[in-house]
Each structure stands twice: as structure tokens, then as C-alpha cells.
Amino acid sequence: MKAFRRIRKAIFPVAGLGTRFLPATKALPKEMLPVVDKPVIQYIVEEALAAGLTDIVFITGRGKEAIENHFDVSLELERILEERQELEKLQVVRDTSHMVHVAYVRQKVPQGLGHAVLCAAPFVDDDEPFAVFLGDDLIMADVPAIQPLIAWSQEVQAPVIGVQSVSQAEVSAYGVIDGVPVHAGVYRVRRLVEKPPTEAAPSRLAIIGRYVLHPDIFSYIEATPPDARGEIQLTDALQVWVQDDRPLYAIEIQGRRYDTGSKLGFLQANIELGLQHPDVGPALQAYLRTLLRRIQPE
């Protein structure tokens, strides 16, 4: 593996079907669902930018045009806001369209996360490590959640994946790692298992939606067979990578994570971020107090 040069590129696979959130996601990409007043994907793009990443590649699919439109210029909307002299709103609209340099790649059939990442291969140089952000995994932290992964990957010149501890009952919904601690909150990965039965899970450290990868992973993904659901899993490709004695590290990501592709995670994100929002926070808090008294009288 060649040296880990500076990372600029952020890959956003956003081509999944979002079946856990039907019917909301039948015509609307789950990544465009709003948390308070911004689509989920915008929070995650802002995280990438805050970590110094400059080039965004979206892996999109059928029905995901709203994501492209969101980050594009909307001349008509800008003109109307300008005419009405709604200058603050105009600025918000302009900021969103000037936020990123984007490239879009189409994943023609949603064949899994591994396959979606592989679609980015033509956009990545063969010595260019890159970050991957899952478009529905919202992480609110003091520093951008991807930042420690980037820093550690530069230090050890190796790929790094983000993990967080989940409850025993939840492990079977995630890829799970078996790792040797090398530092506080840092593990050298020995093994990865995608969605293990609870009793077979090697730990409670679940892989969450942040990765720093090396382009050598593409040939591993190409060689990965589809799983029982016909999806090519990134975790399976990484498992063969580790079996080949290639280095892989995991970092426990600090911060609050919301799986906004699930109904509960989405609601939690809206409540918690709503409480922090200057426009609606105080009123929402008062409302929640009243509501609690109503549903849980003393």
C-alpha cells in the first residue's frame, strides 16, 4: 500500500432505498428528511467541510434528484426572495448551493454499501485515501466525527473505521468488530462480522457511518460476493482485507449519533436538535414538559 496522502475527498453513498422509513421515502430520499430545518444530508456535508474535506462525491440512485437540487443553484427561488427583500432567507439558500464542489455518480441498482463505494472508484486516484460518510448517520460532536479518523489514518498510514458501543440487543443490526486496544478508544481490527447473531458477536463495538479508506479496497470489494439479500457489504470486503494481514484500525467516535434512516432515530434527532435550536428550543422544551405531565401525571 502506498503512503496515505492528505485526504480531500468525501464519498457519500446515498443510493439506498430507505425501506425502513416507508412510505415517507417512497418519493423522498431519506437523506433529505429534515431535522428541524435542514435535511439530514446537509448536517453531514457540513461535518465533512468542517473537517477540511473539499471534494464531495455523491453516489446517488433513482429518485434521489432532490439531493442534487438541494446543493444546486435555484435561480428562481433566489430571484423571488430578492424581490421580496427576504435577505436572510436568500443568504441561506445561496450558502447551501455554494457549500460544496460536487460530483454525482449513479449506482444503477442499489446493490449494497460496498457496491455503492465501488461506484466512486473512477473518481479516486490510486494513491488517494478518501473518507466515506453514510448519508443517514447523523453525529453531533464537539469536533467533526470524521476528524479523529483522518488524524489517526495519517499517523498510522492505514484505513480507519468509526465504531460506537451499542447494547447487546442491537449488535445484530450492525457490522461488529473484534479489536485489540492500542490506545484509548483505538483498536487494531482483527475481525469484522456483518450483522452477527447476538450470541456470536465478537464485541459490542458496532461499525457506524464514518470510514477512512484506501483505494486498494476497491479490488477487495470487486472480489466480494453478494450476501443472502444480494447486497455487497463493505464489512465483508474489509474482513478479507484484515485476513490478508492488511492494517485496519477502529476508533470509538465520541458524540451523539442518530440513525435517521430509522423512525426512532429520526424522531430523537428532531427532538434533541430541536431543543438546542435558538428559534424553537425554549418553546419545544415547554411543550415537552407539558406533554410529559399529561402522559405521566404524578
Q: Where along the sequence are the contacts to ligand UTP (CB under 6 A)?
A: 13-20, 31, 59, 107, 110-113, 115-116, 134-136, 261
The single residue listed with the C-alpha cell 430509522 is: 262
Distance of closest approach, residue 272 Cβ to ligand UTP, in angstroms: 20
Other residues' Cβ atoms within 10 Å of the Cβ of residue 145 = 29
CA distance 72 to 98: 8
Residue least distant from ligand UTP (Cβ):
16
> Do 52 and 59 meet the contact criterion of CB atoms below 8 Å apart?
no
Phi-psi region of 47 (alpha: psi -120 to 50; beta: other; left: phi over 0): alpha
> Do 186 and 135 meet the contact criterion of CB atoms below 8 Å apart?
no
Residue nearer to ligand UTP on the CB measure, 159 or 261: 261
Residue nearer to ligand UTP on the CB measure, 115 or 214: 115
Residue nearer to ligand UTP on the CB measure, 177 or 234: 234
Residue nearer to ligand UTP on the CB measure, 28 or 90: 28
Distance of closest approach, residue 35 Cβ to ligand UTP, in angstroms: 15
CA distance 215 to 54: 18
Residue nearer to ligand UTP on the CB measure, 78 or 170: 170
Distance of closest approach, residue 298 Cβ to ligand UTP, in angstroms: 39
Distance of closest approach, residue 269 Cβ to ligand UTP, in angstroms: 15
Distance of closest approach, residue 133 Cβ to ligand UTP, in angstroms: 8
**Closest Cα partner for 60 from 16, 123, 30?**
16
Q: Give Cβ neighbours of residue 222 (< 8 Å, ≥ 6 apart).
A: 118
Residue nearer to ligand UTP on the CB measure, 31 or 236: 31
Using alpha carbons only, what angle is made at residue 149 by residues 144 and 151, rounded to the nearest 5 degrees?
Answer: 95
**Closest Cα partner for 216 from 240, 194, 233?**
240
Distance of closest approach, residue 61 Cβ to ligand UTP, in angstroms: 7
Distance of closest approach, residue 14 Cβ to ligand UTP, in angstroms: 5
Q: Give Cβ neighbours of residue 52 (< 8 Å, ≥ 6 apart).
A: 150
The single residue listed with the C-alpha cell 456470536 is: 200
Residue nearer to ligand UTP on the CB measure, 158 or 176: 176
Phi-psi region of 38 (alpha: psi -120 to 50; beta: other; left: phi over 0): beta
